[in-house]
Amino acid sequence: MHHELKQLAAAWAARPVEERLGMSRREFMTFCATLATTLGLPTGAHAAVEQAMDKGRRPSVIWLHFQECTGCTESMLRAEHPTLEKLILDVISLDYHETLFAAAGHQIEAARKQAMAENKGKYLLVVEGAIPTRDGGIYCKVGNQTAIELTRECAADAAAVIAIGSCAAWGGMPSTDPNPTGATGVHKIIDKPVVNIPGCPPNPYNFLATVVHFLTFGSLPAVDHLNRPLFAYSRLIHEHCERRAHFDAGRFAMEFGDDGHRKGYCLYKLGCKGPETYANCPTVLFGDAGAGTWPVGCGHPCIGCTEEGVGFTKPIHQLAKVKNLEPPVSYPRTREEQGKGVSLGAAAVLAAVAGAAAGAGAMVARNLGKGSGDQAPGSDDGGKSGPAGN
């Protein structure tokens, strides 16, 4: 039966790649160009991606599950470009995955060992879930092996190791204090490099792009100091958030459901961790469901799930540490009326300060709003009409 399945897989692999992926040749080339762009590759690199996906040998993947909720796999199940069946039949060869296997027990353990033996030194190891280390790791066992033993066995002959999700990357939610099982990330228990793709769950396309990079170049993509792929985790969420303009203008939602929240104002004061979280959520989105399909786009603050020490550690309501810009005191009040323009008094003050400091002064001037209603321009009100609420 296993031999027949291999023959069917080989026959399927011999068909043109665009036919296997269910897209035209033009769509396939566009898909490869998009992946190359996502990875930050130079102009023309899409040709290498195209060739690797068309002619390259699908890498064998061993996918382990430990302390997790299977959310990472669930996000993969909902990927649309390509869909899961096309991913595991045409891009990778998923040879071991406890959630997706039809078999069980000794059969799947035998399949894992066979795949590891046949692809020794060439297979990709993907780990989903944290590794419990307390009391010898007895709090998670698969096939009578602890998570520690199984991970080390599979990692020994792997070409590369990918930790998918925050649990595998750094411990995630299972490692939250008091961490009774001693949950930790994969890189803490093996002595070889691990590429971390954190998130709860991470975007499936960050995983796909990482695998395609390996398929194309025989190596994993460049990573940051936390071993996260730079193409996905080099920029703060805050930098690409669609609400960023409101942050710069000093317009914040103060409560869920208030006027600012309904108008799409910045969620910083509701505890959004976007200013201290590195991820590409605002640009890649989730679920292929259209615009706004990520937490902040839907009206909920980012919880910083990709960042150790932020996600599952800081309370949701706690203000983030803004890594690139702290909100200055010159921002207007949260409930400032919009569209009234700068008051004469404010304009006079700005004009006196080094010519309004060009761009920065102009930005502040544009957002100061209307001064105290009936007061004469330039009069002293004892500071009562100054910025408040911040």
- Beta-ladder partners of 127: 64, 163
What is the model's pLDDT at position 326? 53
Q: What is the CA radius of gyration of the chain?
A: 26
Q: Structure pTM?
A: 0.70
Q: Could you tell me which residues come within 8 angstroms of residue 301 by beta carbon, excluding any fewer than 6 positions away?
A: 267, 270, 271, 272, 273, 274, 295, 316
What tokens does 218 get?
A: 């025989």
What is the model's pLDDT at position 385? 39
CATH number at residue 244: 4.10.480.10
In a domain? residue 192:
yes
Which of 311, 336, 361 corresponds to the end of one domain? 336
Q: Whole-angstrom Cα distance, residue 204 to residue 80?
A: 10
What is the model's pLDDT at position 183? 96
CATH number at residue 93: 3.40.50.700
Claim to verify: residue 257 and residue 285 sit in the same structural domain: yes
In a domain? residue 322:
yes
In a domain? residue 351:
yes
What tokens does 253 get?
A: 């939602």
In a domain? residue 197:
yes
What is the model's pLDDT at position 6? 52
Claim to verify: residue 226 and residue 285 sit in the same structural domain: no
Claim to verify: residue 358 and residue 258 sit in the same structural domain: no
Claim to verify: residue 298 and residue 321 sit in the same structural domain: yes
Contact between 323 and 309 under an 8 Å Cβ cutoff? The reply is no
Q: Could you tell me which residues come within 8 angstroms of residue 250 by beta carbon, excluding any fewer than 6 positions away?
A: 327, 331, 332, 333, 334, 336, 367, 387, 390
Which of 193, 214, 233 corresponds to the end of one domain? 233
| Structural domain harbouring 110 | 58-233
Spatial CA neighbour of 127 closest among 222, 228, 196, 204: 196
377 prior amide bond cis, ω within 30: no
Contact between 22 and 85 under an 8 Å Cβ cutoff? The reply is no
What is the model's pLDDT at position 155? 96
Helix H, strand E, coil C: the string for 306-369 is: CCCCCCCCCCCCCCCCCCCCCCCCCCCCCCCCCCCCCCHHHHHHHHHCHHHHHHHHHHHHHHCC
178 prior amide bond cis, ω within 30: yes
Claim to verify: residue 297 and residue 321 sit in the same structural domain: yes
DSSP 3-state helix, strand, coil percentages of the chain (rounded to 5)?
Answer: 40, 10, 45
Which of 233, 262, 296 corresponds to the end of one domain? 233
In a domain? residue 3:
no
In a domain? residue 28:
no
In a domain? residue 387:
no
Q: Each residue of 365-385: pLDDT tens digit?
A: 344 343 434 444 344 444 443
Claim to verify: residue 87 and residue 173 sit in the same structural domain: yes
Claim to verify: residue 85 and residue 204 sit in the same structural domain: yes
In a domain? residue 374:
no
Claim to verify: residue 248 and residue 202 sit in the same structural domain: no
**289: number of Cβ within 10 Å:** 10
Claim to verify: residue 68 and residue 159 sit in the same structural domain: yes
Claim to verify: residue 242 and residue 351 sit in the same structural domain: no
Q: Each residue of 82-120: pLDDT tens digit?
A: 666 666 666 778 889 888 887 788 888 898 999 999 999
Claim to verify: residue 229 and residue 246 sit in the same structural domain: no
Q: Whole-angstrom Cα distance, residue 333 to residue 347?
A: 17
Q: Could you tell me which residues come within 8 angstroms of residue 133 by beta carbon, excluding any fewer than 6 positions away?
A: 148, 181, 182, 183, 184, 188, 189
Give the E-state strand segments of the chain in sequence order: 60-65, 93-97, 124-128, 131-132, 141-142, 145-146, 160-164, 183-184, 194-197
What is the model's pLDDT at position 103? 77
Q: Which residues of the chain have pLDDT under 70?
A: 1-57, 81-90, 325-390
Claim to verify: residue 76 and residue 222 sit in the same structural domain: yes
Number of independent structural domains in the chain: 3
